[in-house]
Structures are given as structure tokens and as C-alpha cells.
Structure 1
Amino acid sequence: MARIAVLDCFTSDIFRGNPAAVVLTAEPLSADRRISLAIELNQPATAFVSHPRLFEPAFTPSSHDAPLLIRWHTSTGGALPLCGHATMAASHFLLRHFLPPSVEQLEFEYPFLHDETATGRLLVRRVQGDRVEVTLPACLQWRDVSDDEREKVTAVMRAAAGTDSVQEVLAFPTPNPKVQNVVIRLQDHVDLAALEFKPEAFLKLPYRGIWVFNTIPPALQAALPGASARSRVFFPSVGIMEDHVCGSAHTALGPYLFSSSATPSTESLEFAQVSKRGGKIGITWDGRLGHEGGTVGLRGEARLLFQGELYL
């Protein structure tokens, strides 16, 4: 038996946010089967969730059970090391549409791509209203780039979006020592939503993810109520020209903005990812970075588009 669902994540409206497919099975699917399904479903990401007792009547996960196993693949079949929005989709589907209403939280386990003998854990819980919070590992310690790196990033930003109003450039390492992401902070006056990006220009940079953001001036906050900052996210090196709404990128953007002296003390922040589909991500942070065991909570809504049975 297998179940399938498609949800739009980090939004309260269908056809907005970031869509993801969710596949539920009792036994883990083989890599070949996951890849074939992800390509067939053709969503930005597909979350594959399995547990031996998942389809038992009134199954309720508990601390005595093994955690739910989760893996993620892109629409081209590539394995993802972590995917916040597909985890959000799986969490919403399980908590709001599949498991008994008494279930308030979940625990997922996932293998590390660069070392499959090691695993990570993700905690999920219901929060206020229709929101769910997914707790992900916080980013590792970021670094200022060199003058040469900054100059190159600024030149590429000019080619990609027609602006060189770059305020700051930071490199973010990942658990895989061969992979880095870059954060480009633009000056606050730049209308990030209005920029017409040419993401292929970012292929000239040696980074996996290109994460662009700026904070929202008080005069403009009425247009994005509740949001402290705007973001856009690109992964052209893995075939994702622009990520509609990216959870994992905000495990870096959130802690950086929380730690910024320009950010007022607060328990939570909200980012508006201003891609064409758009979405909002609420963020909490425990104050520690990834190498210290720190975590980031991503909060958001999701809308179920459809669900059904999958015949394998």
C-alpha cells in the first residue's frame, strides 16, 4: 500500500508557495524507485516517508517507536541532503490529513548523503492555527568572503539582476566540506520582488545555493505585513533556477538576521520569499549554530491540493 499527496507549502492559498509531493509507504523504497517516482511526479521536491506500522489502524507515533524515515528527491531524480519545504509538506499531510487528530508531534530520521552511515533527526510539531513547525539543524558558522570573492559576486549579481547594490556577501559552509552556499545581502531600498533575475548567470560562482535577501524598510512593511525581510533563492548548479520558497536556506538567513545588531530582539522573525509564487516562513532560533547542536524552527501553513492511492 502507498499513499500520495501534493501540497503547496508556506502559504494559505493553493497555487502559491512551493509545491511538493509526499509518498507514504510501509517499507522504504529503493533508490531507483524513488528516482523514477520523483521524475514521474515532476514536483520541485518529493518527500518519501516510511514506517513499518504507518498503515496500521489508528497508528500513533510514540517515543517507543522507530522514527519515521524520510528522504527527498528533486523533479530530475537527484537526491537532496535536506529539504525544508518537502518536510513541511509531509508534516502537514501526516498531522492534518492522515494520522489521528491526537498526534501533536512527529520525529523524522534521514541519512546524510555524504555519509549514509550517519543519520540526522528532525522534530515537527503543531503550533498556532494551521501552522506546523519543522525543526532543522542550524547553519554552520558563516564567514566574510575575500575582497576578490566579493568583487566577483557583485559583478555576477549585476549580470544576473541588473543591480550592484550589494551590502554584504557571506559564505556558508555545509556538512559536506566540498559544498558552500553564499548569501548576498542587498541594500534595503532594492525592491527584491521586482528584480528580473537571470539565474544562469550564477553558474559562474562556485556555490551550490545563491541566497539573496534584504530587510524591509518600515515604510514598506504594510505591503508585507508581519515580515521583517525579503528573500529569493537560487540553485542553478543542481537545475533549480529559482526555488519558489526554500525552507533550508532560511536555516542560515534566520540565524544571520537574528544575530545582526540591526535586528531588534525578538523571539521570532518572518521572511517573505518574494518569488513569483511567493510564500512566508516564520523562524525561531535557539541561539546556537550547527556545530554547537543548534536548531532553527521553520513555521508555515500548507494547502492540500490532492491525495490518493499509489499503485507500485
Structure 2
Amino acid sequence: MRIRIVDAFTDRPFAGNPAGVMLLDAFPDDDWLQDVAMEVNHAETAFAHRLPKGGAADWALRWFTPVAEVAMCGHATLATAHVLHTTGAHDGQVRFATRSGVLIATPAEDGSITLDFPTAPLTSVEVPSGVAGALGAEPAAAFDTGPNVGDLLLELADEKTVLGLTPDHKALAAYSARGIIATARAEDPARGYDFVSRCFFPNVGIDEDPVTGSAHTALAPFWSGRLGRADLTGLQASRRSGVVRTGLRGDRTLLTGRAVTVIEGELLTP
């Protein structure tokens, strides 16, 4: 069985967010999928298999971190769509059947891929007591991002504060189902991005995620409401870093980026 490592939300190797991708004939048992994801040991490994023609979706898609299955993952969806198109396994727009409904990936002539995801519902909440100490900065505001994303979104004072965070990952685990999205407005939009973010997901085995597509389904409505524009660009400022172009379309959010296959090999374990 072929397995690939794809760097997503970047146009160059060794940046963005790496994802494992496997195209299968059917899903084996969950323990096997989890074991493969643990072996790959990236934020997510995506498993997909073709569905019968004529249905609501073209491929079934699931995502696993090294320790758990997740309900939504943007970068591994982008990586899977990239593999389908670059290998000729699927031409044009592809519809994925997932735990978050049907997600659509549309390739463009310039090599980018646009994902159509549900917009996260944002609910303003009190800043939890103790989260500032765990994060290492005092949030200005806090928002619940709903069940699909499962994060606590925290607005911080400025870009410099987001970039300088050195959180206590174990302590952060107490504040949301998946983790924390820390964000601030870009100091200089002339650099090519409107807002900056970092994402910490200790509850699913990821201290800091390099680039998180699903988090941008919450960041898009958050910053579109503040900046007054539907189309924005976000920089996720992890060590690897990556760029996500967002387009708020009501209850749907478009996430656009590029991907690069960096490793292709053979999984020998049956």
C-alpha cells in the first residue's frame, strides 16, 4: 500500500503542515488506522477510499492524530485532494464524505486547492480563570468554536504577543475539547496577511499544530467581522509556518492553499 507525506498550506517542502495520506480500497478496522497514524506521527494522517458513483460524495475520508480520530481536519483534506489530483486518481472537484458532512475540494489552474468547510459558530464566553497563566498571555476575549472544531479561541493584544507564546501545554488541556487558538490582528498587512494565529492541541496529542485548516473556519468569521471583509489571509506562525486564504460565505468557509508531496513509499505491514 502506498503512503505519502504531503506538506499542506505551503508551496515548498519542509514548511506548512505535514500529513500522511493513504488511498485504500476500504477502511480496515479502527485499531489499524490508529496504529498507522501513530507510526506516521504527524498531526494527522488521512485515509480515503473511493465511493460508488452517483452518490452525494466521491470519496470517504477519515483523519487520525497519533492518539485519536478527529471530526474535522483541513490540512489533511487539502493533502488528500492534492494526492488525488497529482496521481490522477480523481480529476476536478472532489467531494469527501466525512464526520463533518460532505466537504468539497476544488483545484485551480494555478495549482492551489480550495476547500469548502462549514463555518464554525462562535459564542462569546468569559475568559476562563487560569488560562492566561497556562497560555503565557492575558486574552482580551474568548470564544467557543462549537462541536466540530472544539477549540477555545483567544484574542490576544497583538501579533508580537502571539509570536512570543511559550505555553504550558499540559495546563492548556483543561480549557477545551481539542485545544486553544491564539490570534491577533497583523501588525503590518503589507506583509501579505491580515491576522496571525497559533494553535495548541494537547488533548489530541499535538502540542502545537503547524497549520490548522479547521481553526480557520473559526478565524474567518472572527476576523471578517472585525475587519469588514469576507476574503482574508491568515498566517499561522508556527516554526514551520503556513498561509491560509479564507473566504467567508455565510455558513460555509472557503480555505485556499497549496500542497507539496515530499515523501512517497510503501507501507509493508499488512
TM-score exceeds 0.5:
yes
Q: Is the Cα–Cα contact under 8 Å of residues 160 and 200 in structure 1 kept in the other structure?
A: no
Paired letter, 2:58: P
Q: Is the Cα–Cα contact under 8 Å of residues 51 and 57 in structure 2 kept in the other structure?
A: no
2:228 aligned residue: 264
Instruction: Measure, in 2, the Cα distance between the counterparts of 1:160 and 1:49.
Output: 35
1:297 aligned residue: 254
Instruction: Measure, in 1, the Cα distance between the counterparts of 2:54 and 2:249.
Output: 23
Q: Is the Cα–Cα contact under 8 Å of residues 57 and 96 in structure 2 kept in the other structure?
A: no
* TM-fit CA distance, 1:206: 4.3
Q: Is the Cα–Cα contact under 8 Å of residues 233 and 243 in structure 1 kept in the other structure?
A: yes
Instruction: Measure, in 2, the Cα distance between the counterparts of 1:135 and 1:42.
Output: 26
Q: Any unmatched runs of 5+ in structure 1? A: 54-61, 113-119, 288-293
CA-based RMSD of the aligned residues comes to 2.2
User: C-alpha offsets along residues 92-148 of structure 1, whole Å, 9 cap, x if unaligned?
Assistant: 111123336xx2210110246xxxxxxx101110125121011111112x22213xx
Instruction: Measure, in 1, the Cα distance between the counterparts of 2:253 and 2:105.
Output: 11
* Larger-Rg structure: 1
Q: Is the Cα–Cα contact under 8 Å of residues 26 and 52 in structure 1 kept in the other structure?
A: no
Distance 1:111 1:9, change over 3 A: same
Instruction: Measure, in 1, the Cα distance between the counterparts of 2:159 and 2:262.
Output: 36
Q: What is the 5 A alignment of 1:1-312? A: 2-51=1-50, 67-76=58-67, 78-99=68-89, 103-111=91-99, 120-127=101-108, 129-140=110-121, 142-146=122-126, 150=127, 152=129, 155-161=130-136, 163-164=137-138, 166-174=139-147, 180-188=150-158, 190-217=160-187, 220-222=188-190, 225-260=191-226, 263-265=227-229, 267-287=230-250, 294-311=251-268, 312=270
Stretches of 4+ aligned residues off by more than 4 angstroms: 62-66
1:290 aligned residue: none
Q: Is the Cα–Cα contact under 8 Å of residues 199 and 236 in structure 1 kept in the other structure?
A: yes
Q: Any unmatched runs of 5+ in structure 2? A: none
Paired letter, 1:238: V
Paired letter, 1:171: D
Paired letter, 2:133: R
SS of 1:43 mapped into structure 2: coil
Instruction: Measure, in 2, the Cα distance between the counterparts of 1:282 and 1:22.
Output: 22
Q: Is the Cα–Cα contact under 8 Å of residues 194 and 234 in structure 2 kept in the other structure?
A: yes
Q: Is the Cα–Cα contact under 8 Å of residues 19 and 43 in structure 2 kept in the other structure?
A: yes
Paired letter, 1:281: V
Q: Is the Cα–Cα contact under 8 Å of residues 27 and 52 in structure 1 kept in the other structure?
A: no
* TM-fit CA distance, 1:172: 2.1
Name the TM-score, length of structure 2 as normaliser.
0.91
SS of 2:69 mapped into structure 1: coil
User: C-alpha offsets along residues 215-272 of structure 1, whole Å, 9 cap, x if unaligned?
Assistant: 112xx334xx321000001111222111111111111111121122xx033x411110
Instruction: Measure, in 1, the Cα distance between the counterparts of 2:27 and 2:254.
Output: 27
* TM-fit CA distance, 1:36: 1.8
SS of 1:201 mapped into structure 2: helix
Instruction: Measure, in 1, the Cα distance between the counterparts of 2:95 and 2:128.
Output: 43
Paired letter, 2:69: A
Instruction: Measure, in 2, the Cα distance between the counterparts of 1:96 and 1:189.
Output: 36
Distance 1:143 1:111, change over 3 A: closer
Distance 1:211 1:65, change over 3 A: closer
SS of 2:12 mapped into structure 1: coil
